[in-house]
Amino acid sequence: MIELRASSKEINTSIVVSNFSKHAFYYEPRIDNIEISLEQLNWYLNSNPVKEYLMLFSFGSIIPRVNTSILEHLEIPVSSISLAKRNKFNIDHDALNPYKTLLNKYYSEFGRNYENENYFAATSLAGSICELILYQLLCEQPSTTEQMLQQKGLGTYIQYCKMLELDKKYKFGLTPFERINKTRNKFVHPSNAINEIVNDIKILVLESGIKNNLEKIMIQFGIN
């Protein structure tokens, strides 16, 4: 059995016979050529050109999946030379995906502002990253209604994820999202910020662990 684990950037495979995970999907290949072993198939699926090819047909920006019909029609070269020729292709999928493009932009700006101690901007951007991730996740759920998507805000999206039990379905924690949302609300809303401005903003941000919480989220969703 081939196990496929997907992140937002790529799909990785491995051979498994037990200990199946809810975080992966599985495929039992039908190999027509006796010269091709299951190990060789797994090696081929993990090659960069094939992973790039599979991502072209993946669906779901947060947790990608691949239709089994795509896997069934793959032609596996026996010669290593033919595989080497395929390595010349390098497709920038992020540039074609508006969700990933915006996410990368937000994260880059967050890092720059955090390092420069622009904590108001960094905190706001951390909240925007969280909001974008949960918005995209909600967009991909059949149970999400148009009315739900019209409601904006990180706090609202957190509540929708709880209501739909998406954290249980996809095995991720909402606590880092909640902590970032709490910190952002202290600075974004004037009624809260006016009480915090007299305090040392740097201490407040460092004590809140906003950077660590954001890194936990990026790891949970396989975002590099």
User: Both 6 and 50 in a single domain?
Assistant: yes
User: Both 25 and 38 in a single domain?
Assistant: yes
User: Both 112 and 209 in a single domain?
Assistant: yes
- What is the CB neighbour count within 10 angstroms for residue 147? 7
Provide the number of structural domains found in the chain: 2
User: Both 124 and 216 in a single domain?
Assistant: yes
The two structure tokens encoding residue 59: 């669906």
pLDDT at 224: 62
Domain ranges, residue 72? 2-92
pLDDT at 183 over 70: yes
User: Both 151 and 185 in a single domain?
Assistant: yes
Helices (H), 87-173: 98-115, 119-139, 146-150, 154-164, 166-169
* Distance of alpha carbon 19 from alpha carbon 115, whole angstroms: 42
pLDDT one-digit tens code per residue, 55-106:
776 776 666 677 777 777 776 655 444 344 434 434 344 444 667 778 888 8
User: Both 215 and 105 in a single domain?
Assistant: yes
pLDDT at 12: 77
Higher pLDDT, residue 21 or 156? 156
Higher pLDDT, residue 184 or 191? 184
User: Both 123 and 191 in a single domain?
Assistant: yes
User: Both 105 and 141 in a single domain?
Assistant: yes
Mean pLDDT of 104-121: 90
pTM of the predicted model as reported, rounded to 2 decimal places? 0.58
* Distance of alpha carbon 155 from alpha carbon 76, whole angstroms: 47
Residue 218: closest CA among 187, 28, 65, 210:
210
pLDDT at 85: 41
User: Both 101 and 208 in a single domain?
Assistant: yes
